[in-house]
């Protein structure tokens, strides 16, 4: 029997999305009855939205696979692994491979390639796919948001 203790921390994505939406529409500040600058909250929300979409487009094929993933309705990255033939993708041109509907085996293979690349990027972590300048931007945005929300983001660390 393995007696090693592993801590697993789960931060509720729904709560995070609610926070983002409430920043974007100003309802976060409204809840503080004038104690929070609503415009600043909206600006912070827009910065998050901009950077999330930028990373999604630049590194995770958002524009290419958004509709395909929704239409394919696979719940996790490994769901299409049976279509992945293991091809070396180091020189693969994802912008020119003709990926599109219908959901035939050829396009499922192309989607599986994208899933494999996405999974590898997740394993690497943002600090290995973003340059230092962009990491600094994300860190500053995190700190700005945490300050504006009175430590909402950093409160997860109080559970350690």
Active site residues: 12, 14
**Are residues 152 and 19 in contact, defined by beta-carbon separation less than 8 angstroms?**
yes
Q: Give the relative orientation of helices 105-124 and 62-72 as an angle to the nearest 10 degrees.
A: 120
Tell whether residue 12 is among the known ligand binding residues: yes
Distance CA 151, CA 143 (A): 9
Which of 155, 158, 140 lies closest to 44 in space, CA to CA?
A: 140
Distance CA 128, CA 23 (A): 29
Cβ count within 10 A of residue 159 = 9
- Concatenated DSSP letters for 92-113? --TTSS---SS--HHHHHHHHH
Tell whether residue 136 is among the known ligand binding residues: no
User: Binding site: what residues are annotated?
Assistant: 12, 14
Residues placed in the known binding site for Mg(2+): 12, 14
């Amino acid at each position: 029997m393995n007696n090693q203790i592993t801590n697993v921390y789960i931060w509720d994505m729904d709560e995070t999305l609610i926070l983002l939406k409430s920043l974007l529409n100003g309802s976060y500040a409204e809840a503080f009855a004038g104690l929070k600058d609503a415009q600043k909250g909206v600006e912070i929300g827009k910065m998050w939205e901009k950077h999330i979409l930028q990373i999604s487009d630049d590194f995770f094929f958002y524009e290419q696979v958004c509709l395909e993933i929704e239409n394919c309705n696979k719940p996790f990255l490994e769901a299409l692994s049976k279509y992945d033939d293991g091809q070396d993708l180091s020189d693969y041109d994802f912008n020119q491979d003709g990926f599109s509907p219908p959901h035939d085996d050829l396009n499922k293979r192309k989607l599986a390639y994208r899933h494999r690349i996405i999974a590898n990027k997740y394993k690497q972590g943002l600090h290995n796919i973003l340059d230092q300048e962009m990491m600094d931007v994300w860190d500053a945005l995190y700190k700005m948001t945490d300050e504006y929300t009175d430590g909402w983001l950093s409160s997860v660390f109080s559970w350690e």
